[in-house]
Amino acid sequence: MLDLTYQPPKPKVIAGAKYDWELVIGMEVHAQVSSEAKLFSGASTKFGAEPNSNVSFVDAAMPGMLPVINEFCVEQAVRTGLGLKAQINLKSAFDRKNYFYPDLPQGYQISQLYEPIVGEGEVLVDMEPGIARLVRIERIHMEQDAGKSIHDMDPHMSFVDLNRTGVALMEIVSRPDIRGPEEAAAYVTKLRQILRYLGTCDGNMQNGNLRADVNVSVCRPGQYEKYQETQDFSHLGTRCEIKNMNSMRFIQAAIEYEARRQIAIVEAGGTVDQETRLYDPDKNETRSMRSKEEAHDYRYFPDPDLLPLEIEQAWVDDIAASLPELPDEKKARFMGDFGLSEYDANVLTAETDSAAYFEAAAQGRDGKTVANWVINELFGRLNRDDTAITDSPMSPAQLGGVVDLVASDTINGKMAKDLFEIVYTEGGDPAQVAEAKGMKQVTDTGAIEAAVDEVIAANPAQVEKARENPKLAGWFVGQVMKATGGKANPKVVNQLIAQKLKD
């Protein structure tokens, strides 16, 4: 396997009125565990059910109800930790985070503050070929999601839907290693890719199954390096947390806005207040949600209803052994085994389904050629039809068949594209279709020579010009191809024309 090395990207620099500024960003990504049942109750997690239909007595916090941990969710958290090359803590514990809100029936969220199940890990965030940021993961903990409050259904009342209450979340906390809006979006993209590879979260941001809180601060160039040396946050600016974003575009826009807001404050001689803010995509601005003084005192303490969670190394080992090949490894293998460029490898490994398609099609063929066909032809065609690769009407074997016909000089490149379209829309075995449709390339020199002679004889004036200027030979090639219905082997045509014009 290839051992890839990367250079870190340059941090984004924003020019203020007086100085240049850099950004420092840390993220808390909430990923909903792909599970049938909730974290501490047997209720279903199905999205889009009737309001308050997926609610057990435990979720509704009826008197005397008790939480019981869902082992499957624990397994997914461990799997995720392993996928992020993180420390798995064999002993972890659940704590209560206390606050009042109507969509939080217990009056507390069960989370893991003091002893999370997953410790330090890392994510390699690809920016462009040869450039990637290594973002350190501080921890991953499990916690319950809250329900949903609906304030716009009635002028006097609010309504509560508890379907999401108690659904398992993994909170993935990064170190402040992200240095710009694009990196932030790329970080979430990479995390999402890994989670989808692992199957522990579907990554559906639209449904809120993957959401991010972003901590943003600004500092003068050079300060961040001091922080990295000492891990002392006093070298950095005061941070603000932008809550609950579920779109890559909003994440970038919010960071950009927030950084400029902070720069303006500091350059005007003010200080940034540490606070929680919300991003308003309609106005493209962040607004204060609550200040540090108004911040809740969550009164975290160990949940006495749950014993510490103890798992065995052997179980962790079993999960580790069952991990799929992850994006970084797959990419390196595609580059090494198939000779792909990093760019092509990135594109093909973005989703496991496209990687699997490519691998099946590339088996026993030239990887680069197949990659070109998949990326340029197939993806474009699927995109036009708004079709997922798993629903592709053209199988890897069919695509491979087209590639084979080109490789064996049976059809030429232009014909291959026509054949691709026919097989894509009508199906069939490419070789048979090419045969039936008479698309096979003419390599019979005699037939081509006759066509060439005919064209030369019919265009004496052009022949004169071309003899003076050999660049005009291309015109003859076009005429011959036209005369042969596009089936002539272009190589042979070129050779013959060059030779005849010389004569």
Partner 1 sequence: MSDLNKMTIAAARDALRAGEVTSAELTEACLTAIDGADALGAFVHKTPEIAMERAKAADARLQGREEAPAMCGIPVGIKDLFCTKGVASQAASRILEGFRPEYESTVSQNLADAGAVMLGKLNMDEFAMGSSNETSVYGNAVNPWRAGNSDAGLTPGGSSGGSASAVAADLCLAATGTDTGGSIRQPAAFTGITGIKPTYGRCSRWGIVAFASSLDQAGPMTKDVRDAAIMLQAMCSHDPKDSTSADLPVPDFEAALTGDIKGKTIGIPREYRMDGMPDEIETLWAQGTEMLRDAGAKIVDISLPHTKYALPAYYVIAPAEASSNLARYDGVRYGRRAALSQGDGITEMYEKTRAEGFGAEVQRRVMIGTYVLSAGFYDAYYNRARKVRTLIKKDFEDVFAQGVDAILTPATPSAAFELGKTFDDPVQMYLNDVFTVTVNLAGLPGISVPAGLDAQGLPLGLQLIGRPWEEGDLLNTAYALEQAAGFVAKPAKWW
- Residues contributing to the site for partner 1 (CB under 8 A): 57, 60-69, 96, 98, 100-102, 105-108, 158, 160, 297, 299-301, 304-307
Q: φ, ψ for residue 472 (rounded to 5)?
A: -80, 0
Closest CB 137 distance from partner 1, rounded Å: 26
Question: How many H helices and E strands in the chain?
Answer: 17, 16
The residue among 155 and 446 lying less far from partner 1, judged by its C-beta, is 155
446 three-state secondary structure: helix
Closest CB 161 distance from partner 1, rounded Å: 13
Residue 198 tokens, joined: 């692992």
Beta bridge partners of 92: 309
Q: What percentage of the chain's residues is helix, strand, coil (to nearest 5)?
A: 40, 20, 40
CA distance 196 to 186: 15
* Residue 210 neighbours by CB under 8 Å, 6+ apart: 29, 30, 31, 32, 188, 192, 195, 201, 203, 204, 246
Tell which residue, 358, 386, 382, has the closest CA to residue 372.
358
Closest CB 310 distance from partner 1, rounded Å: 12
Closest CB 59 distance from partner 1, rounded Å: 11
The residue among 159 and 475 lying less far from partner 1, judged by its C-beta, is 159
Long-range contacts of 274-277 (CB under 8 A, 24+ apart): 274/238, 274/239, 274/240, 275/240, 275/241, 276/240, 276/241, 276/243, 277/240, 277/241, 277/242, 277/243
The residue among 107 and 470 lying less far from partner 1, judged by its C-beta, is 107
Beta bridge partners of 234: none
The residue among 296 and 482 lying less far from partner 1, judged by its C-beta, is 296
Spatial contact of 132 and 105, defined as CB atoms under 8 Å apart: no
Spatial contact of 361 and 399, defined as CB atoms under 8 Å apart: yes
The residue among 162 and 242 lying less far from partner 1, judged by its C-beta, is 162
The residue among 98 and 246 lying less far from partner 1, judged by its C-beta, is 98
Strands 285-291 and 13-15: unpaired
Closest CB 292 distance from partner 1, rounded Å: 12
Give the DSSP H or E segment for 455.
Answer: helix 445-458
The residue among 6 and 300 lying less far from partner 1, judged by its C-beta, is 300
Closest CB 67 distance from partner 1, rounded Å: 7
The residue among 69 and 127 lying less far from partner 1, judged by its C-beta, is 69
The residue among 110 and 172 lying less far from partner 1, judged by its C-beta, is 110
Amino acid identity of residue 309, one-letter, is L
Spatial contact of 418 and 389, defined as CB atoms under 8 Å apart: no
Closest CB 142 distance from partner 1, rounded Å: 15
Closest CB 55 distance from partner 1, rounded Å: 10
Closest CB 159 distance from partner 1, rounded Å: 11
CA distance 197 to 194: 5
The residue among 100 and 282 lying less far from partner 1, judged by its C-beta, is 100
Cβ-count burial 472-484 (b if 16+ within 10 Å, e if not)? ebeebbebbbebb
Closest CB 274 distance from partner 1, rounded Å: 15
